[in-house]
């Protein structure tokens, strides 16, 4: 089955009771038993729920994995991965990382004796310098947030395999429409399904997908034992979202390309960060591992003024100033005052998050309206 069919049919079957084409929302915590243990495969909804299971099969299908797991948020999914580890274990992670992931690693798990190394992985061989006998996991985000750096997943996975270390990839920005980390050698793929998979900014959810049964069993155990599952309503919504993922992504990419081109020639713009631009330092790797380049982009303005950037995001009308990304509607964000405000100026500037940086999640509206909106805001 091809990807554009998997988004709609992958892992899905029509409801056995009445043939409903969409899975019913099984809004139940428990299931009747005829005799102790006499049930139809479902006992309690933390452990299993038919609507959630339908979604988990869809997750597995679109990422070319064998086992999918749905969680109450992206961070709950990451939390489950770190629970595979024990005190003394070490993790090597990308340094330009989603802020919440960084907070989870440093503020929660360092206190439990897990050590994290945050490094630039644009040159994958750098990872080897940090590997020792305690290294158990490599955590990668690509493209990264908000600088849209690209990491070579195949190169990182070769290193992970050589040292028998697990490789997990946060595929939130790219989605499986653009790149499939499991096919490139990752062991675990993770999503904030809140973003593109849900696609409509109406639900918070996380996902994991793996190929290996043994690893899946460990993660299912953690999912049930820790209990950070998502509810049946939310499962239904994300399953519905996934059915249009390929169509939405196609338009996100088209609009992203047009806006990158528009910004590049604008006299007030200093720099545009979008992996599809030939000027992007890892454009060639992006081109090799991604089908297209997505709808996330960042830019800076000449003069690097904090205030001028605030005025731009305030003036934008169709681009709503808001956290999050990946929905059908366009959003803007100013990392220095929003997502990265808690990071000291010198620290954030090291990774490129300077005062004038603006991040756009380009939606699927008409491109003419989006460009007019940017035009009036940049005046």
Ligand X SMILES: *Cc1c(COP(=O)(O)O)cnc(C)c1O
DSSP assignment letter at 72:
S
Residues 287, 159 contacting (CB under 8 angstroms): no
Whether residue 143 is preceded by a cis peptide bond, meaning omega within 30 degrees of 0, is yes
Evaluate whether 371 touches 260 at the Cβ level (below 8 Å): no
Q: Is 160 helix (H, G, I), strand (E, B) or coil?
A: helix
Q: Is 339 in the site for ligand X (CB under 6 A)?
A: no
Report phi then psi at 318, rounded to 5.
-75, -40
Applying the rule CB under 6 A, the residues between 47 and 76 that interact with ligand X are 73-75
CB of 331 to ligand X, least distance (A): 12
For the question of residue 170 being annotated catalytic, the response is: yes
Give yes or no for residue 94 binding ligand X (CB under 6 A): no
As a whole number of Å, the CA-based R_g of the chain is 21
Q: Which residues neighbour 261 within 8 Å (Cβ) at sequence distance 6 or greater?
A: none
Residues ≥6 apart with Cβ < 8 Å to 278: none
**Parallel, antiparallel or unpaired: strands 358-361 and 269-273:** unpaired
Q: Compute the least distance from the CB of residue 3 to ligand X, in Å.
A: 21
Minimum CB distance to ligand X smaller for 145 or for 356: 145
| Closer residue to ligand X, CB minimum distance, 141 or 373 | 141
Report, in Å, the least distance between residue 144 CB and ligand X: 8
Query: What are the CA-CA distances from residue 168 to residues 53, 78, 111 (Å)?
Result: 22, 9, 22
Q: Which of residues 189 and 377 has its CB atom nearest to ligand X in the complex?
A: 189
206 forms part of the interface with ligand X (CB under 6 A): yes
Distance in Å, CB of 35 to ligand X, minimum: 40
Partner residues linked to 92 by β-bridges: 117, 138
* CA-based nearest residue to 205, from 189, 197, 196, 194: 194
With contacts defined by CB under 6 A, name the span among 59-67, 83-91, 189-197, 338-346 that binds ligand X. Answer: 189-197
Write down the catalytic residue from 170, 187, 234, 355. Answer: 170
Q: Please say which residue, 43 or 202, places its beta carbon nearer to ligand X.
A: 202
Say whether residue 195 binds ligand X (CB under 6 A).
Answer: yes
Min dist. Cβ of residue 82 to ligand X (A): 13
Q: Does 351 contact ligand X by CB under 6 A?
A: no
Task: Please indicate whether residue 102 is annotated as part of the active site.
Answer: no
The backbone region for 145, taken as left when phi is positive above 0, alpha when psi lies in -120 to 50, beta otherwise, is beta
Q: Is 145 a binder of ligand X (CB under 6 A)?
A: yes
Whether 46 is catalytic is: yes
Which of residues 207 and 272 has its CB atom nearest to ligand X in the complex? 207
Residues near ligand X, by CB under 6 A = 73-75, 98, 100-101, 141, 145, 170, 172-173, 192, 194-195, 204, 206
Which are the catalytic amino acids?
A: 46, 98, 170, 195
């Amino acid at each position: 089955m091809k990807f554009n069919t998997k988004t709609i049919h992958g892992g899905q079957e029509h409801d056995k009771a009445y043939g409903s084409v969409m899975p019913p929302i099984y809004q139940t915590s428990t299931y009747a038993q005829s005799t102790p243990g006499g049930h139809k495969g479902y006992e309690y909804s933390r452990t299993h729920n038919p609507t959630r299971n339908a979604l988990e099969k869809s997750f597995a299908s679109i990422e070319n994995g064998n086992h999918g797991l749905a969680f109450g948020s992206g961070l709950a999914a990451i939390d489950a991965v770190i629970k595979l580890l024990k005190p003394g274990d070490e993790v090597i992670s990308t340094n330009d990382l989603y802020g919440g992931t960084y907070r989870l690693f440093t503020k929660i798990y360092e206190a439990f004796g897990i050590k994290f190394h945050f490094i630039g992985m644009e040159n994958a061989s750098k990872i080897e310098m940090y590997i020792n006998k305690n290294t158990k996991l490599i955590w990668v985000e690509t493209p990264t947030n908000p600088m849209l750096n690209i990491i070579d997943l195949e190169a990182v996975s070769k290193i992970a395999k050589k040292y028998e270390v697990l490789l997990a990839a946060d595929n939130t920005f790219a989605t499986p429409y653009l790149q499939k980390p499991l096919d490139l050698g990752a062991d675990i793929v993770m999503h904030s399904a809140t973003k593109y998979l849900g696609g409509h900014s109406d639900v918070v959810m996380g996902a994991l997908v793996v190929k290996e049964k043994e690893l899946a069993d460990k993660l299912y155990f953690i999912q049930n034992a820790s209990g950070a599952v998502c509810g049946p309503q939310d499962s239904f919504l994300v399953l519905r979202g996934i059915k249009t993922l390929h169509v939405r992504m196609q338009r996100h990419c088209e609009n992203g390309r047009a806006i990158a081109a528009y910004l590049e020639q604008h006299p007030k713009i200093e720099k545009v960060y979008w992996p599809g631009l030939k000027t992007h330092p890892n454009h060639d790797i992006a081109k090799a591992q991604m089908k297209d380049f997505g709808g996330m982009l960042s830019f800076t303005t000449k003069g690097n003024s904090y205030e001028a950037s605030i005025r731009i995001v305030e003036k934008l009308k169709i681009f709503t100033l808001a956290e999050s990304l990946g929905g059908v509607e366009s959003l803007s964000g100013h990392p220095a005052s929003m997502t990265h405000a808690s990071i000291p100026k010198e620290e954030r500037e090291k990774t490129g998050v300077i005062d004038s940086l603006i991040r756009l999640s380009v939606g699927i509206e008409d491109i003419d309206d989006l460009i007019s909106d940017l035009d009036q805001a940049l005046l």
